[in-house]
Structure 1
Amino acid sequence: MDFTDVSLVALRVFREVAERGTFTAAAAALGYTQSAVSRQIASLERAAGSRLLERRREGVVLTAAGQVVLRTGAVILDQLDAAARELAGLPVAGGTVRLGWFPSAGAVLLPRAISAVRRTHPAVTVTTREGSTPALVRALRAGTIDLAVIASAPPFRPPDAETPALKLETLAERSLMLAVPTGHPLAAYDAVDIGELRGQRWIAGPASSGELLMGVWPGLDERPVVAHTVRDWFAKLQLVAAGAGITTISASMAPAVPAGVRVITVRGGPQELRRTILARLPGRLPEPVALLAAALRAATTELPLA
């Protein structure tokens, strides 16, 4: 493939499609029509002489050739962006780390790690973005973030089957717990049996393909009554405090619960563990990225164990 025949627009569109997972989402993010996105991808595939994306009902998947083009294209785009920033007098990309994180990681872990980096290495700039684990994995592959803090539930499979395999480091493995209003009958106990969760009103995140219904205790032997559907974890906990229902919570979030919420454990059924994982592409880490990774490890050791 001769990259002299490829437009930068096509490369940016291709990276956006790879990150977003669909032509429709990429078009919305870029402000393009879907047909314009399709034309850019078609021009890139003609230049490559190979199909770069496999179209599936649930979205697109990179072919082997697509992975090569994405890796090479991401380097080209990052170098051009770094040059543009330097010419504009902004900090160069070498001092910037782009971190992605799943929602509940932003409650305690993320602020502690970023605060530590700012205190010990003020020249390092950390930018962050929130997203679901599948979205963050796509962003890593697309080269738009350097590190991702993602979540994993049993049986703890790799987050994707693409190559090269991501480098995964378990930062923490914690028990899933239950957040209940302080005035709720369950709040009188430190631990409750799973059978006592029948008939409860749940506060959960919106269900999506390939992801768990976050907020409902796994393995209930009934169809859960979801009284409130909320994506934001702090909003969930505020609803719990208001007595609107109960929700699941990672033990690591216990320090962030508001007044009016009690965190308890659940007995019976399979042990529900959740892992917080640091994910990245293989290869040597630039120093700023390594510094943030070390800060995330250190911050994790300060979080509650159960």
Structure 2
Amino acid sequence: MIDVQRLRVLRCVAEHGSFNRAATALHMTPSAVSQHIAALERSVGARVVDRSTRGVTLTQAGRIMVGAAESVAAELAHAAREIDRLGTARSQLTVATFTSGGRYLLPGALTRLTAAHPGSVVHVRAAEPEDSLPLLRQGAVDVALAYHFDGPLPGLRGPGPDVEWLPLMEDPLHVVLPETHPLADRPVLDLSELADEPWVLGCLKTEAYLRRYAERAGFSPEVRGSTTDYFFARSLVAAGAGLSLIPTVALTPSLPGVRAVPLAPPAPARHIGAAVLRRSVRPPVSTLIAALRECAEGAAAAGSGARPAQPSAASPEGPS
């Protein structure tokens, strides 16, 4: 029989990449961690990690077992929440969301949710997708409002039948310029026209995205500043520090002194969606997903610049 504690240790080793760091996180000794892994390998009849001087990496069997460990953790967390609900008529729902998408979509969706399920208690925690999606698989949250660019969903080690990705909207990125800039009145811009401009960014992940698109346009951007706040980045643009690449949902509230101009196709965009665990979808979760879709469709219909989700965004090299 496979011991649940040993699965927990393996998952921690996979997360931290070494026995020593896993031992610190688990408040164990490295020797105890090694013994747990050795016992797990004996019980499954296969090596689950490859050991080297650079740390440890998962074998194919190890990856399978980590997936099982995440499923077990999610099931136990789900069971604990169900037991908690036995003592109260109030349904508990936890939502993880990235900041700009949560500010844009979540308030209206929560209003609809509480109207349909007045006894629900909703907990909201801010988390970027690379954190919220693992939390979902672990059963720590019921819904993860997340996004990806033109690659796979972050924070997931690969496809899995447990997570369902539900596309909500496409969130095109705009160039934000000082309103006095010679190109500020243009209806659309090609990125190649901005090859000589300095840049300030409101998200560290946006820098890698900008560099990829700039390379396609034939230049290497000069990045003078990186922030973790889109409003701050727009403030720097207004002060003349450079241009910025900002998603549609982060263009509100408006800021004096700047203009946002769409990029010519193929324009970069974020794909926003909600992730849920298939086996734990219950009426409040279904209601919230439907409400998020209504809010996304309403924003697109109002001419915000956001677009309905495209089918191609449904399975971004990750969960189906």
Deviation at 1:166, TM superposition (A): 3.1
3-state DSSP class of the match of 1:108?
helix
What's 2:213 paired with?
Answer: 219
What's 2:130 paired with?
Answer: 134
Paired residue type of 1:75: E
C-alpha distance in 2, partners of 1:75/1:239? 46
Deviation at 1:194, TM superposition (A): 2.3
Q: Sort the Cα spacing of 1:152 and 1:81 in 2 relative to 1 into closer, same or farther, 3 A.
A: closer
Paired residue type of 2:244: T
Deviation at 1:279, TM superposition (A): 1.9
Deviation at 1:23, TM superposition (A): 5.2
Deviation at 1:45, TM superposition (A): 6.3
1:4-63 CA distance string (max 9 Å, x none):
xx55xx676666666xx3258x969x9847864884585266257245667897996662
C-alpha distance in 2, partners of 1:257/1:214? 26
C-alpha distance in 2, partners of 1:140/1:185? 46
C-alpha distance in 2, partners of 1:201/1:59? 41
3-state DSSP class of the match of 1:270?
coil
Moved more, 213-222 or 178-187: 213-222
Deviation at 1:206, TM superposition (A): 6.2
Q: Is the 8 A contact 2:231 2:250 kept in 1?
A: no
What's 1:46 paired with?
Answer: 39
Matched, 1:176 2:169: no
1:216-258 CA distance string (max 9 Å, x none):
3752122211111112223223323333222112223334343
Deviation at 1:123, TM superposition (A): 2.2
What's 2:312 paired with?
Answer: none
What's 2:68 paired with?
Answer: 68
Paired residue type of 1:294: A
What's 2:285 paired with?
Answer: 289
3-state DSSP class of the match of 2:210?
coil
Deviation at 1:264, TM superposition (A): 0.9
What's 1:125 paired with?
Answer: 121
C-alpha distance in 2, partners of 1:193/1:140? 38
1:193-229 CA distance string (max 9 Å, x none):
323211222122565xxx5526737521222111111
1:138-195 CA distance string (max 9 Å, x none):
22222222222222333x5566523226322211124321222323333232322323
After the TM superposition, which residues 136-155 of structure 1 pair with which residues of structure 2 at under 5 Å, given as runs? 136-154=132-150
Q: Sort the Cα spacing of 1:237 and 1:97 in 2 relative to 1 into closer, same or farther, 3 A.
A: farther
Give the alignment's TM-score, normalised by structure 2.
0.72
Structure 1 residue ranges without an equivalent (≥5) = none
Moved more, 48-57 or 71-80: 48-57
C-alpha distance in 2, partners of 1:33/1:147? 27
Give the alignment's TM-score, normalised by structure 1.
0.74
Q: Sort the Cα spacing of 1:105 and 1:226 in 2 relative to 1 into closer, same or farther, 3 A.
A: same
C-alpha distance in 1, partners of 2:178/2:55? 38
Deviation at 1:76, TM superposition (A): 2.3
Could you tell me which of 106, 110, 114 is aligned with 2:106?
A: 110
Number of aligned residues: 289
1:82-140 CA distance string (max 9 Å, x none):
65x679x8x68x72222222343133122332333234433222223333333333222
Structure 2 residue ranges without an equivalent (≥5) = 307-320
3-state DSSP class of the match of 2:180?
coil
3-state DSSP class of the match of 1:226?
strand
Q: Sort the Cα spacing of 1:239 and 1:120 in 2 relative to 1 into closer, same or farther, 3 A.
A: farther
Deviation at 1:300, TM superposition (A): 0.8
Q: Is the 8 A contact 1:22 1:59 kept in 2?
A: no
